[in-house]
Amino acid sequence: MKRYRLLAVAGIGIVAVLVGVLMFGNLNGNLVYYLTPAEAIAKHADYPDGRRFQLGGFVRPGSVAHTPEGLRFVVSSDVKPGSPAVPVLHNGPLAQLFQPGIGVIVEGSWRDGQFDSDTMIVKHDENYRPPATPAPAPSGGDSR
């Protein structure tokens, strides 16, 4: 009886380890990280031209320009002047909430000293504000 109990405990232990490995073993490979502009500049050699990664930061006010090549803007670590920044050329769909000063994550690769992206995610807060509804027009009719 002790022998079967020992085998059952060992079997349950092996099953628990296998379930743990299957559930959590590949978790790190599925997490998605992004680099800040300062990290992207520092690790430029680790990401040669063509190797994709995600870059996150704030769209620098005054840097957004529509060009024939795509949308050009600068992503910086902070909205303050002088913070590390990376020039971006975006060739994908534009996020609906995209605007200068907002947090953005772009995915792409280095090309000739600039970051070429084709995917954009805009960071926003959790506060929902419905669109403003126009005030009803006053009725100009005579009520007799």
**pLDDT tens readout for residues 60-79:** 999 999 999 999 999 998 87
Burial bucket for residue 118 (CB in 10 Å: 0-12, 13-18, 19+)? middle
pLDDT level of residue 28 (50, 70, 90 thresholds): low
Lowest mean pLDDT among 9-13, 14-18, 97-101, 132-136: 132-136
Residue 50: alpha-carbon gap to chain centroid: 19
In terms of pLDDT, which residue wins out, 13 or 23? 13
Q: What pLDDT, on a 0 to 100 scale, did the predictor assign at position 56?
A: 93
List, in order, residues 6 or more apart from 8 with CB less than 8 Å away.
Answer: none
Q: Which SS3 state, helix, strand or coil, does residue 4 take?
A: helix
pLDDT at residue 45 tops 90? no
pLDDT tens digit string along 113-124?
Answer: 899 999 998 877
Rounded to the nearest integer, the mean pLDDT of the chain is 84
- 124 marked as binding residue: yes
